[in-house]
Amino acid sequence: MKKSCISILFIMMFVVTYAQEGSTAWGDGKITLVNGITLKGKISVAHEFSQDLVLVHREGKWETYASHQVNYFEFWDQKQGGLRKFFALPHQDKEGSPGKAFFELLTDGENLTLLARRTIEEIQPVKLRSKLKQDLLSEAPVSVPLKENTEQWYRFLKIVKDDSKLKAFEVKIFESLYFIDALGRLRRYTYDHSRKLLSTNYTKFEKKLFYELTLDKKLEIQEYIKDHKFDIKHKKDLIQVIDYYNRIKAFDNGLSQEKIF
C-alpha cells in the first residue's frame, strides 16, 4: 500500500511538472481512442514513466489518457530523429489482472514483430544534500541519469519542486521485449530476474524462443548472425536479424514484406 501511494504521488507530481521542462519533452503526433476519435497535438513521452498514461497538449489544455482508453498513438521524437509508434494491447499485470498496456513498435513484418514495453519497477524517495538542493532549486524539475544503466535498465533521479520545496525520487525502469509471432500471439523475450538472483540489473533472455520462432530459417539466421557478428541480446542487432528473417520469408512466398501494424 505504501509503495502504491508513493507511485501515485510520483505520477501526479511528474504530470504536473512535466510540461515545465520545455518543448524537448514533447513531440508532434496523434492519438486514436477506442471510440475511433483521433486527436492531434503535442504528445508527451511521460507514458514511459507513468504506468500506461499518455499526455496530450492541444488547444491550449492538458488531456491525460490511460491505456484502456487508447488504441494507438504516435509522435515525432526529435532526439531519436524518427517517428515512434505505440499500441495499447491486451496484457495482464503482475497480479494477473487483465487489462491493456502500451507497447512500442520496434519492427514488424508478416511473420515476426518486435515490441517493447517499459515499466516502473521501483520508486524510492531519497534525501538531497544541502548543497545539491541549493544548486537545483532554480533548475527543478530535472531528471538526472544514474550509473549502471543498460539497454534493458534505466535508473534516474527525478527532482521536482512542490511549494518551493524540492522532492527527489530514484526511479528504476525496465524495458521488456516481446515478439508477435505469425499466429498473432504475444511472446515475451526478456525478463527481470534481479530480485530472484539478488543481483542488480540482471536480465534473462529467452534466446530459445527466438530460435523456435525462426526455426524454419535456422541455418540462414545463424549464418547471418555469424557473418555480421550480431548478438541478439542487443536490441539493435535483434531488430536487424528480425528484419532479415521477414525479408527472406517474404521472398520465399513471392510477396513484398507485409506489416502487421
Q: 144 - beta bridge partners?
A: 157
Residue 254 has pLDDT above 80, yes or no: no
Q: Which amino acid is at 8?
A: I
Q: What would the DSSP string read from start to end of 164-231? A: TEEEEEEEEEEEEEEEE-TT--EEE-EEE-TTTTT-TT-EEE-HHHHHHHTGGGHHHHHHHHHHHT--
What confidence tier does 249 reach under pLDDT thresholds 50, 70, 90? very high
CA geometry: angle at 141 spanning 200 and 102, to 5°?
60
Tens of pLDDT, residues 46-100:
544 456 888 899 999 989 899 999 999 999 988 788 999 999 999 987 777 889 9
Please give the mean pLDDT across all residues of the chain: 79
Contact 55/67 with Cβ under 8 angstroms? no
% residues pLDDT > 70 (the chain): 69
Q: Sketch the domain layout of the chain as residue ranges.
A: 2-213
d(CA 109, CA 146): 36
Tens of pLDDT, residues 110-129:
899 999 998 877 777 877 66
Q: Which has more pLDDT, 162 or 21?
A: 162
> What pLDDT is stored for residue 18 in this prediction?
44
> What pLDDT is stored for residue 119 in this prediction?
82
Mean pLDDT of 4-20: 46
d(CA 178, CA 119): 13
> What pLDDT is stored for residue 21 in this prediction?
43
Neighbours of 120 (CB within 10 A): 16
3-class SS string, 83-116: EEEEEEEEEECCCCCEEEEEEEEEECCCCCEEEE
d(CA 184, CA 206): 18
The three cell numbers locating residue 89: 494491447
Q: State pTM to two decimals.
A: 0.78
> What pLDDT is stored for residue 174 in this prediction?
84
Tens of pLDDT, residues 78-91:
878 899 999 999 99
